[in-house]
Amino acid sequence: MSLPRVTPIALIGEVSVTRIEESVRGSLVPEKVFAGFDPESLERHRDWLIPNHYDPATGRFLTSVHSFLVRTPRHTVLIDTCGGNAKERPYMPRFHQAAHPWLERLAAAGVTPDQVDHVICTHLHCDHVGWNTQLQDGRWVPTFPKARYLFHRPELARWNPANPAPGVGAPNDSVWEDSIVPVIEAGLAVEVDSGHEVDGTLTIEAAPGHTMGHVRVMLASGGAEAVFCGDVLHVPLQVYYPDWTTHFDDAPALGIASRRAVLDYCADRGALLMPTHFAAPHRCGVRRAGEGYSIDWR
């Protein structure tokens, strides 16, 4: 089996970042997903959108689903765990009863599940928590048996069935039961608040909007910085059009504020932007362009 989808992304000070791909495909139909979408935006940016980020034949944005493997001097950390295999997701066909060689790709990057020290999920949608667990002997068990799974306290509360939430945002049926509860029952879940640090290099910070407990993970090492922003942005065009919101968002206005805060941070500090769904090259810098922003592909 060919495993070309393990991509060294960056060296941030003493910290290495590797992308572990689950899938890349055309997925988001812009006029159906993004409120405020203007078809002219595609024409303005067509020269760099095609072929990596937009497929004109299908009229869809291409999106990646991947994890970031972050190796600090002391720990091995996974940020977001994709959709997983064998999960029941009929409302999201891309993730329904999938069979991806994701674990093999993790191994190709030199890491086995029992070598992962921390798992951080930017939020608890199905495509960010799937490999938290795997199916063994008919039951869901944690994939990373020695890891501490760091869950943002407000995000756990948002999805806990004991705390009924309004029916907003993306459908997420069965995710709590098959990808979160087994981790909690195994004693591996750690509830954390905004400001929680790992190794003095990674900091979990609130970035609400896409979900109410969504976080960004800030990396700083050796004078260099990066931001793992999850679904604060879904596609690169949102750098140019940060007021685009999606029908997946819990609170669109909060999402805009979180998006602009991330873009401001990257533009002002030269930090790399690393979203979970950008197609190749999967990360970028951000520059100021008048009152807006532009992409600095790196």
- Report CA Rg, the chain: 18
Query: Parallel, antiparallel, or unpaired: how do β-strands 224-230 and 272-275 relate?
Result: parallel
Q: 205 exposed, middle or buried (CB, 10 Å; 0-12, 13-18, 19+)?
A: middle
CB 77 within 8 A of CB 198: yes
| Complete domains list, the chain, with CATH | 6-297 (3.60.15.10)
Q: What is the Cα–Cα distance from 152 to 36, expressed in whole angstroms?
A: 30
Query: How much is the pTM?
Result: 0.95
Output the pLDDT for position 240: 98
At 99, is the secondary structure helix, strand, or coil? coil
Q: Are 191 and 236 in contact (CB under 8 A)?
A: no
In order along its 298 residues, the chain shows pLDDT tens digits of: 344 578 888 999 999 999 999 999 999 999 999 999 999 999 999 999 999 999 999 999 999 999 999 999 999 999 999 999 999 999 999 999 999 999 999 999 999 999 999 999 999 999 999 999 999 999 999 999 999 999 999 999 999 999 876 656 678 999 999 999 999 999 999 999 999 999 999 999 999 999 999 999 999 999 999 999 999 999 999 999 999 999 999 999 999 999 999 999 999 999 999 999 999 999 999 999 999 999 999 8
Q: What pLDDT does 7 receive?
A: 84
Provide the pLDDT for residue 2: 43
3-state secondary structure of 197: strand
Residue 243 pLDDT: 97
